[in-house]
Chains A and B, each alone.
Chain A
Amino acid sequence: MSFNLQIISPDESVFDEEIEMVIIPGTEGDIGVLSNHMPLITSLRLGNIYIYKDKKIIKKFLVNGGILEVFENRCTLLTEDISDSESKVISNDDELSKRKTEIASKQFYT
């Protein structure tokens, strides 16, 4: 069973595909969303997003805050600060970029 995940930033649509599962870093803890999830709105913290298809992680993003909305098998993630986990962290804020690099290198789920 698959559902649609859309990740939108103010500058562009980052991701828009049919996927099986996504794990996102909610402010209260990580949330895994499968298809037919109940309507949900939650805020995000700094952390990794794992996107699953065919039981494998196909994409990993690093996100810093945002909003996730799940409604009728459509999952929309709005964030101002998102980057590919593989890409190098560029930031003026040293403390933040250090934490970002640290988190991006970690792999909590497989």
Chain B
Amino acid sequence: MPSLKDLRNRIGSVKSTKKITSAMKMVAAAKLKRAQDNAEKTRPYALKMHEIVESLTSSGVAQVKKFGERNKEKKNILLIICSADRGLCGGFNGSIIKYTKKLSAELSKNSNLSYIFVGKKAYQTLKRKYEASIVEFFTDIANPSIKFELSSSVRDLVLELFLSNKIDECHLIYTEFKSAISQTVKSHKLLPIDNSGEIKKTKTYEFEPSEENVLNEIIPRNIAIQIHSGLLENLASEQGSRMTAMDNATRNANDMIDNLTLLYNRSRQALITSELIEIISGAEAV
């Protein structure tokens, strides 16, 4: 049975842990709001870009040879893995790492893999496993918010690799934000551009300079915005996940404090009772 002093100390330490977790929860909630706002602001651009690319590739007028499918037996696939820079966000980084491992095991059967890591946590865990095939690693991504320049530099790297035939396919792995308590890891294909879809002539545009030139201009921009919105969504998910994790931690700390306080009061009462019994029986003996 722990002494009264031990119990007091434990209650004290759980209380201070609770203070930290509840503060982290508040901070995460504020950051989540900001991350969501930022993601919201990028949406019109991403939507419009998607619309234009969609109407171009589905109209069939422009064939995207430069960014199109390559027929190879053993493909070189690049995975861009977005994770967080910090921990203490529940299963957020863990599920990204798990997903990456599973996908890698599946893909590596008939293709060569290489990786770009955005965010420190997944990199730290996976760097030993995939050491030879890591192309680049970006950190300090959300300080204070995700800049578009980061996404463009990732895009530049990807395009350079793709156009020099070092890679034939590129996937972005990020966490889709559904709500503060629900996020799922997703993989999204950036390259090659899929133009096998059904051809439907919806809008007829005039192009300047030519369709192919315009398309070659648009596609890199589209890739950059896809990476950017992926990163923004990932950040929102991270904050949401941290908020939930810290909320749970605070609640657990509360439960623990309740239990410990109960135990403390009981043992104090037991001590008083036994002292009384000792005094009474002592008095009787006299």
Mark A residues whose CB is within 8 Å of B.
8-13, 26-28, 31, 38-43, 65-67, 69, 71, 76, 78, 80
Contacts and interface: CB of A to CB of B under 8 A. Distances in A.
A10 B47 CA distance: 11
B214 A78 contact: no
Contacts of B49: 67, 78
Contacts of A67: 49, 52, 214, 217-218, 221
A31 B208 contact: yes
A28 B213 CA distance: 11
Nearest to A44: B217
Interface in B170-186: none
The interface size bin for chain B is 20 to 34
B232 to A, nearest CB: 9
Interface in B35-63: 41-42, 44-46, 48-49, 52, 56
Contacts of B203: 39, 71
Contacts of A41: 52, 56, 205-208, 214
A6 B208 CA distance: 20
Contact of B228 (A10, A12, A13, A65): A10
Tell me the dominant secondary structure on chain B's binding face. helix
B152 interface: yes
Nearest to A31: B208
Contact of B208 (A8, A12, A26, A76): A26
Interface of B: 41-42, 44-46, 48-49, 52, 56, 148, 151-152, 203-209, 213-214, 217-218, 221, 224-225, 228
A65 B204 CA distance: 23
B148 A11 contact: yes
B206 A12 contact: no
A68 to B, nearest CB: 9
Contacts of A42: 207-209, 214
Nearest to B49: A78
Given A10-B225, A69-B52, A78-B48, 8 more contacts: A10-B151, A11-B42, A27-B213, A39-B205, A42-B214, A43-B218, A78-B45, A80-B224
